[in-house]
Amino acid sequence: QKEVEQNSGPLSVPEGAIASLNCTYSDRGSQSFFWYRQYSGKSPELIMFIYSNGDKEDGRFTAQLNKASQYVSLLIRDSQPSDSATYLCAVKPGNQFYFGTGTSLTVIP
Amino acid sequence: DTGVSQDPRHKITKRGQNVTFRCDPISEHNRLYWYRQTLGQGPEFLTYFQNEAQLEKSRLLSDRFSAERPKGSFSTLEIQRTEQGDSAMYLCASSLDGVHEQYFGPGTRLTVT
């Protein structure tokens, strides 16, 4: 069963705070993990990918992966109103990508 | 523009009509994916090409759906005898063999009336 679970939210954080987005997956064979941002009416935009356990940082974004717990998260530091969007978690156990339903994030000025 | 492009961006059709969508991937990308996304859901995998070969197809995909990538470049997705339940955003994405990241086009929004 290749399922990706995300809290649909909405998640609201004040501007400048840290936003924490979480994702769990069921397929232990998953090797690649992705976070996409999707603005309303637009297509998904790749933010980060991670393959190894631990943390990966890119600017204000940090992805965290724990394969033993089948858990991947995204931290957004110094959240900005422009970060308000739906964040999609995706996993890739083989050739297919499996997406969660997304978490809606609102950053309040 | 060197990104993934899709045409048309919007399509309104009557139930029972056939529609065809086109996707042009990033030029050097040999992998191409089609997804369908409805409101409040994540993209749902439909099918996947490596070069001109269609390697995987969702078991949930109706036989009214067919996709081609005849020369390993652009791809078309055809829906025959459209139904109201086909109304969705159809997304195309491409990636390079050996590289896991995929990049999405702007999508084609289909409305079946």
R_g of chain B, CA atoms, integer Å? 13
Higher pLDDT, B69 or A97: B69
Concatenating the DSSP letter of every residue in B20-47 gives EEEEE--TT--EEEEEEE-TTS--EEEE
Q: Is B59 on the interface with A (CB under 8 A)?
A: no
* Phi, psi of A3, deg, nearest 5: -125, 145
Query: Residue A2's pLDDT is what?
Result: 53
- Please indicate whether, in this complex, the C-beta atoms of B48 and A98 are within 8 angstroms of each other: no
Q: What is the pLDDT of residues A30-41, one digit of tens each?
A: 889 999 999 999
Please name which of B111, B107, B64 lies closest in space to residue B87, comparing C-alpha atoms.
B111
The shortest C-alpha distance from B107 to chain A (Å) reads 6
* Residues B21/B90, Cβ–Cβ less than 8 Å: yes
Nearest CA in chain B to A34: B101
Alpha helices, DSSP H, located in chain A: none
Reported as a single tens digit per residue, the pLDDT across B1-55 is: 569 999 999 999 999 999 999 999 999 899 999 999 999 899 999 999 999 999 9
Q: What angle do CA B101, B47, B103 make, to 5 degrees?
A: 25
The yes-or-no verdict on residue B107 having pLDDT over 60 is yes
Tens of each residue's pLDDT in chain A, 109 residues: 558 999 878 999 999 999 999 999 998 888 899 999 999 999 999 999 999 999 999 999 999 999 999 999 999 999 999 999 999 999 988 888 899 999 999 999 9
* Mutation target among B50, B102, B109, B111 for the A interface, most CBs of A within 10 A: B102
Beta-carbon separation of A92 and B42 below 8 A: no
Contacts of A42 in chain B (CB under 8 A): 106-107
Q: How many Å apart are CA A55 and CA B3, to the nearest integer?
A: 29
**Residue A68, Cα to own-chain centre: how many angstroms?**
18
